[in-house]
Structure 1
Amino acid sequence: MWIGTLYALAAGLMWGLVFVGPLLLPEYPAALQSVGRYLAFGLIALPLAWMDRAALRRLGRADWIEALKLAAIGNLLYYLCLAGAIQRAGGPLPTMIIGTLPVVIAVTANLRNHRRDGRLPWLRLLPSLLLIAAGIGCVNQVELQALRAAPGSDPTRYLQGAALAVIAVACWTWYPLRNADWLRAHPDRSPRTWATAQGVATLPMALLGYALLWIGMLASGSDFAMPFGPRPGFFIALMATIGLFASWLGTLCWNESSQRLPTALVGQLIVFETLAALTYAFMLRGRMPGPLTLLGVALLIAGVLWAMRIRPEPVAVEVHGA
């Protein structure tokens, strides 16, 4: 349990970096940041794949199709929505919406995997859901007040950011459940190999996405300086950093955790990502969060910790007589 939790903590600290990119590159389209990050991830995975080629050869056609699905939805689509959300609504609100993932995943796993992992009692989950909802409400109130006070603010753009964050939650609810399914079904396979396989599967999609985005910008007459934008050195360095730490190494740590812990529990540990992302966002703002924001974060943490105290109860298997 402790080793699995420490792996999840390491993954959360590294995954928090993905919330920094859109804040550091506000003039870069979200689509370019998504394909750029996963192009870097795919390129990083190539030498790792060569070193792990014997284990990768054991993966069948169905395994590679699953890796492609996980890469498309859990990587490219998720980060496209997340980057767009942060660029439109700022860092804290999308981070808090993503912070609902622990309980959203727990509830979904409770419906989906209760026969395998046990059932979390719904009445005991309710307080954690209420605490998390209150926490998001507090942070949303602070961000809305700041939006109203800012000259030239755009409430519609803020709402678009919130909606994109909700879509990102849907993507990353689907991803860990399907990823855990594969890992639990293949306990003899290395989580490192599976992380590398997802990187290899991401590469052709990221290359295609990069090419289509470039062609689309040329066709629309955009004056954005493709392929690497107005700050090429910084863009490449940031994408490589996020690709290495947040994508490959973070996925590796998450896979190690997923093999050791029940799906409903490991999903709750994504709270580490939320806390890291909020810390990084306020560090970039150069100020401490206000009392209401801190209260919201405290409520979120309390909600997730409450849920973590609940242990799955075995589901009785019905035996039908002859």
Structure 2
Amino acid sequence: MLIGFLCALGAGLMWGLVFVAPLMLADYPGLVLSFGRYIGFGLIALLPAWFDRRHIAALTRADWMAALRLSLVGNILYYAALATGIQLADAPLPTMMIGTLPLVISICSNWAPGHPSEAIAWRRLAPSLLIIFAGLMLVNASELDQLGRPGNARTISDYALGCFITLGALAAWTWYPIMNARHLKQHPHIRSSTWATAQGLATLPLALAGFIGYGVWTAASGSGYDYPLGPRPLPFIGLMLTLGLCASWLGTLLWNKASQHLPTSLVGQLIVFETLSALLYAFLRRGEMPAPQVLAGIVLLCVGVLLGMQAFQRAQARSRAALAGE
């Protein structure tokens, strides 16, 4: 249990980096950050692919097409939207919005076709949803107050657009785990490590093509971006490799290890470490303590997500008990 808990904490600390990187490279477009991160991840995936080449070679054309779709939506589009949203709205509220993912994924997967026995009534979810909404509104009020302070160049329109774009990231990463789990269930012979490596390999050509395409667009439009490596090449390369290694590879490795040592009902709730780590990094970068209302909002978000997850777990336990009784 202790090993599993520490691995989940380590994964959260690694994943939290992806929320602060767009602020550290605020002069780089979100698309460039996404392409750079996944070029790094794809290059890192070449090493495990070599050692797992027998299983990689056994994947079918349909498997590779699925890996391409999942990589496009769950990797490149997700992080491009997230990075852009954070650069426009700063990190706290977008981080809180992404922190609702465990509950949003549970709602969407359980209301999807084929899972009617696991669906639960909205009245059972209402308390957790109201608590989450209250937490988001507290942080939203604090961030709107930040906009009026001296030295803050963000406008309300930037803030609103950033939050809206973050909803796109939320949608992308809601779709990804549902479709990823569906493919693995339909193809149980594929090992999870092989599938993760395959997605890394599938991401590499997509990211390279996108990066080259962005360069063509930059040249044609006369954009002010200094293609290819931007105004600060060394920090850009270093941070992209760090995200590719720590967030994409090491974070996933630690999370898989945690999943092996902890009950499923617990490990799903520990993804809250990602949200807490991202908020910690964001406020460290600001050099200030979170306001009391932000701290209250963070607590409400965590409580709401945990209550919602427990509601789904109770519903699934009742469904299994009913099936066993039959």
Tell whether the structures are fold-level matches, with TM greater than 0.5.
yes
SS of the equivalent of 2:27 reads coil
Q: CA deviation at 1:127?
A: 1.2
Counterpart of 1:71?
71
State the match for 2:273 in structure 1: 272
State the partner residue of 1:50.
50
- Taking the aligned partners of 2:249 and 2:55, their CA distance within structure 1 comes to 17
Residue 139 of structure 1 is matched in structure 2 by 139
Hey, what's the Cα distance between the residues in 2 that align with 1:145 and 1:191?
A: 45
* Equivalent residue runs for 1:85-124 within 5 Å: 85-112=85-112, 115=115, 118-120=118-120, 122-124=122-124
Is the Cα contact below 8 Å between 1:109 and 1:264 reproduced in 2? Answer: no
Moved more, 6-15 or 301-310: 6-15
User: Alignment partner of 2:59: what SS?
Assistant: coil
Equivalent-residue separation in structure 1 for 2:256 and 2:297 (angstroms): 30
What is the Cα deviation at residue 167 of structure 1?
A: 0.7
Is 1:38 the counterpart of 2:38 in the alignment? yes
Number of aligned residue pairs: 317
How far is 1:124 from its partner? 2.7
- Report deviation, 1:186: 4.0
> Which residue number corresponds to residue 177 of structure 2?
176
Q: Structure 1: how far apart are the matches of 2:190 and 2:267?
A: 19
The residue aligned with 2:209 is 208
Task: Assess, with a 3 A threshold, how the Cα gap between structure 1 residues 192 and 297 changes in structure 2: closer, same or farther.
Answer: same
Other structure's SS at 1:270 match: helix
Q: Report the equivalent of 1:231.
A: 232
Query: In the alignment, residue 167 of structure 2 is paired with which amino acid?
Result: V
| Residues 92 and 281, structure 1, Cα contact 8 Å, conserved in 2 | yes
Structure 2 letter corresponding to 1:218 = A
Distance 2:113 2:276 in 1: 27
Partners of 1:64 and 1:215 in 2: CA distance: 27
Equivalents in 2 of 1:117, 1:265: separation in Å? 22
- TM-score scaled by length of structure 1: 0.89
The SS at the match of 1:227 is coil
Q: State the TM-score, normalizing by the size of structure 2.
A: 0.88
Cα displacement (A) at 1:222: 2.7
Q: Label 1:126 to 1:118 Cα distance change in 2 as closer, same or farther (>3 A).
A: same
Aligned alpha-carbon RMSD (Å): 2.7
Q: Show the counterpart of 1:305.
A: 306
Please list the CA deviations of residues 254-298 of structure 1 after superposition, one character each: whole Å capped at 9, or x if unmatched.
556678999998665432211111111111111110100000000
Is contact 1:20–1:281 with CA below 8 Å preserved after alignment?
yes
| Identity among equivalent pairs (%) | 53
Listed as ranges, the gaps of 5+ residues in structure 1 are 318-322
User: Aligned to 1:314, which of 307, 319, 326?
Assistant: 319
Unaligned 5+ residue runs, structure 2?
Answer: none
What residue in structure 2 maps to residue 149 of structure 1? 149
In the alignment, which residue of structure 2 is the partner of 1:197?
A: 198
